[in-house]
Amino acid sequence: MSASTSVVQVEGLHKSFGEREVLRGIDLTVDQGDVVCVIGPSGSGKSTLLRCVNLLEQPTAGTVRVLGTEVTDPDVDIDRVRTHVGMVFQGFNLFPHRSVLDNCTLAQRTVLKRSREEAEAVARRNLEHVGLADRAASMPGQLSGGQQQRVAIARALSMDPALMLFDEPTSALDPELVGDVLAVMRDLADAGMTMLVVTHEMAFAREVADRVVFMDDGLVVEQGTADRVIGAPTEDRTRSFLSRVLDPTHRHV
């Protein structure tokens, strides 16, 4: 166990798929209560990094510590660690034939062994936080994409996570639905949640992130405060990426 307050500590992380080395030596720390935004072009390895933190991918080399536990240790009880990590993907991955409330109680009941009563109380509280208290009985298909993503966030929060991972949570949404999801994430950040967020939303990163990490081609090219990395990048590759992503005619890179 580590005595530090780092929630995530990644050191020398490498990941290959066959011959292709997708992560080429990543060092990254997320401290308690911090919001770290990872930005970078498509294919730079952002999702793979997140998936290595949760051990959805097995790193090829390097260490990953989450909440003081080395998840790369072959003897680790990864399910126990994952219980404390909420993950929100681009797709919402809700069970389509279960109500919003059921979607938010299933894992609480099976993994945390909560009673139906307790799980429902927790779920309703989190649905209220994401502005969907009145949709508990709805089926996912009856909701907009933005609402479904907020249900996915409520579902993750219902497990009382110590860390939330977000992988481009708004990039599949119609533009007019993005704001509500970002507002929920901003509230979470304000409430002190530790968050590692892959995003193309530069205004969000600028406002909410304690640190911005720019990745390209499997490496961290530069990192620092949002004002530094987005406002005054020192690396050519960062400048070139930002000029593309901040140009509204090239929103998707």
Ligand X SMILES: Nc1ncnc2c1ncn2[C@@H]1O[C@H](COP(=O)(O)OP(=O)(O)O)[C@@H](O)[C@H]1O
Contacts with Mg ion, residue ranges (CB under 5 A) = 46-47
Distance CA 115, CA 164 (A): 24
Determine contact, residues 38/196, Cβ cutoff 8 Å.
Answer: yes
Determine the interface stretch with ligand X among 45-53, 76-84, 96-104, 231-239 (rule: CB under 6 A).
45-53
Distance CA 84, CA 235 (A): 35
Of 238, 199, 210, give the one whose Cα is nearest residue 222: 238
Binder of residue 45, out of Mg ion, ligand X, none (CB less than 5 to 8 A by kind): ligand X
2 is a site residue for ligand X (CB under 6 A): no
Nearest-approach distance from CB 209 to Mg ion, in angstroms: 18
Nearest-approach distance from CB 250 to ligand X, in angstroms: 16
In the bound state with Mg ion, the residue whose beta carbon lies nearer, of 46 and 211, is: 46
In the bound state with ligand X, the residue whose beta carbon lies nearer, of 34 and 216, is: 216
In the bound state with Mg ion, the residue whose beta carbon lies nearer, of 47 and 99, is: 47
Which parts of 15-44 interact with ligand X (CB under 6 A)?
A: 17, 22, 40, 42-44
Handedness of CA 112, 80, 65, 217 (dihedral sign): negative
Label residue 218 left, alpha or beta by phi (over 0 means left) and psi (-120 to 50 means alpha): left
Binder of residue 140, out of Mg ion, ligand X, none (CB less than 5 to 8 A by kind): none
In the bound state with ligand X, the residue whose beta carbon lies nearer, of 92 and 214, is: 214
Handedness of CA 147, 152, 157, 162 (dihedral sign): negative
In the bound state with ligand X, the residue whose beta carbon lies nearer, of 124 and 237, is: 237
In one-letter notation, the amino acid at residue 85 is V
253 is a site residue for ligand X (CB under 6 A): no
Q: Are strands 219-224 and 211-216 parallel, antiparallel or unpaired?
A: antiparallel
Note the residues at the interface with ligand X (CB under 6 A): 17, 22, 40, 42-48
